[in-house]
């Protein structure tokens, strides 16, 4: 008689939109076949009353949730928490999230052929500083990308602008981060990290902007209006995406595993662009916790393998 398969309970606490996109029937069914039950957590009820859980998977903000999770972990030390709220917090600030890139070291083979880093950027806390570029230029020149300082996954945190001149600054609301816009061939590379698994895919991005074009464009452009840029059409962007060469896999893997170690996080993605001024230089421009994994090929298998690996290690400890 075959021994029964050990079953594990993973409680998940996700905002409705994240729950809808991530907790697909295909993921639930595959996880169940491999002995894992995905159980929704009601964040309006005490977490201690909803267990026991072998693992808690979450992407929630707020001190109440953070304290509740901390108390639960203290009372249930055998329960895995993916990931620590304190570690996730670092990615909620667009300055601290990229500071971590400076802590990475590539292996010698990679460093000889490619380089990586982040764009020049500066944080602006008040309108007086914003409207006086002499106070913040630090090598930045137009165009710049304006991003909210807080990156908590809310709709507000995704509202960004491409600013072409001083007039465009008047539409911005500090605190914000101004980041140099680097021409990158209209293609961005999104790198998904799930534990030790790394997957890089390419997506359409903002088109390149020449110095001549900057002079003829309006003051600023929100990212929802990318299609309004001159010479931006589906045919040209499709060609750019198709022809774009993927970054060297060893470089992407080095950066991914380096970020995983530095952030102590298991679930994140980061955006990379290739600086067309220096073809073998790559810039990390954003890091996001618990991204839209359903857009990643075979995400159900990747996540289920990850769950099994984490829970398997937990059993051995």
Distance CA 168, CA 148 (A): 15
Nearest CA-CA partner of 181 in 151, 223, 132: 223
The answer to the question of whether 232 is labelled as a binding residue is no
* Contacts of 18-22 spanning 24+ positions with Cβ under 8 A: 18/59, 18/290, 21/292, 21/294, 22/292, 22/293, 22/294
Residue 158 assigned as binding residue = yes
Please tell me whether 59 is known to bind a ligand.
yes
Tokens of 308: 């099994």
Query: CA 84, CA 61: separation in Å to the nearest integer?
Result: 12
292 is in an annotated binding site: yes
94 annotated as a binding-site residue: yes
Are 107 and 155 spatial neighbours (Cβ–Cβ below 8 Å)? Answer: no
Is 180 known to sit in a ligand binding site? yes
Is 147 a known ligand-binding residue? yes
Q: Are 196 and 189 in contact (CB under 8 A)?
A: no
The alpha carbon dihedral of 55, 60, 63, 65 has a sign of negative
18 in a labelled binding site: yes
- Confirm if 30 and 304 have CB atoms less than 8 A apart: yes
228 annotated as a binding-site residue: no
Would the annotation count 288 as a binding residue?
Answer: yes
As to burial, measured by CB atoms within 10 angstroms (0-12 exposed, 13-18 middle, 19+ buried), residue 227 is exposed
Bridge partners of 189? 202, 272
The annotation status of 286 as a binding-site residue, yes or no, is yes
Q: Is 185 annotated as a binding residue?
A: yes
Instruction: Check whether 116 is labelled as a binding-site residue.
Output: no
The answer to whether the CB of 12 falls within 8 A of the CB of 41 is yes
* Residue 258 CB neighbours (<10 A): 18
Q: Which residues are annotated as a binding site for 1D-myo-inositol 1,3,4-trisphosphate?
A: 18, 59, 147, 158, 190, 288, 292
Q: Which residues are annotated as a binding site?
A: 18, 59, 94, 147, 158, 179-190, 205, 271, 286, 288, 292
Q: Which residues are annotated as a binding site for ATP?
A: 94, 179-190, 205
Q: Which residues are annotated as a binding site for Mg(2+)?
A: 271, 286, 288
């Amino acid at each position: 008689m075959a021994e029964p398969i050990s079953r594990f309970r993973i409680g998940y606490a996700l905002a409705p939109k994240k729950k809808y996109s991530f907790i697909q029937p295909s993921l639930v069914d595959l996880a169940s076949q491999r002995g894992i039950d995905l159980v929704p957590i009601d964040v309006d009820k005490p977490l201690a009353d909803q267990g026991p859980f072998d693992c808690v998977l979450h992407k929630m903000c707020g001190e109440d949730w953070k304290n509740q999770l901390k108390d639960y972990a203290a009372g249930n030390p055998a329960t895995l928490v993916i990931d620590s709220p304190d570690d996730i917090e670092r990615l909620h600030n667009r300055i601290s999230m990229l500071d971590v890139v400076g802590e990475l070291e590539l292996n010698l083979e990679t460093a000889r052929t490619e380089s990586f880093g982040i764009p020049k950027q500066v944080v602006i806390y008040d309108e007086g500083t914003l409207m006086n570029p002499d106070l913040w230029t630090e090598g930045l020149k137009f165009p710049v990308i304006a991003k909210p300082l807080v990156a908590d996954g809310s709709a507000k945190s995704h509202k960004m602008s491409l600013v072409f001149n001083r007039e465009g600054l008047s539409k911005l609301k500090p605190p914000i981060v101004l980041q140099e816009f680097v021409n990158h061939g209209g293609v961005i590379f999104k790198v998904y990290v799930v534990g030790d698994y790394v997957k890089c895919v390419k997506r359409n991005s903002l088109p390149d902007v020449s110095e001549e074009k900057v002079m003829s464009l309006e003051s600023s452009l929100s990212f929802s209006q990318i299609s309004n840029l001159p010479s931006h059409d589906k045919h040209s962007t499709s060609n750019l995406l198709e022809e774009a060469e993927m970054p060297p896999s060893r470089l992407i893997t080095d950066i991914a595993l380096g970020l995983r170690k530095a952030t102590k996080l298991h679930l994140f993605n980061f955006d990379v662009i290739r600086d067309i001024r220096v073809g073998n230089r790559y810039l990390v421009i954003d890091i996001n916790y618990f991204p839209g994994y359903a857009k990643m090929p075979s995400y159900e298998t990747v996540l289920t393998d990850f769950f099994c690996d984490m829970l398997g290690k937990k059993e051995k400890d």
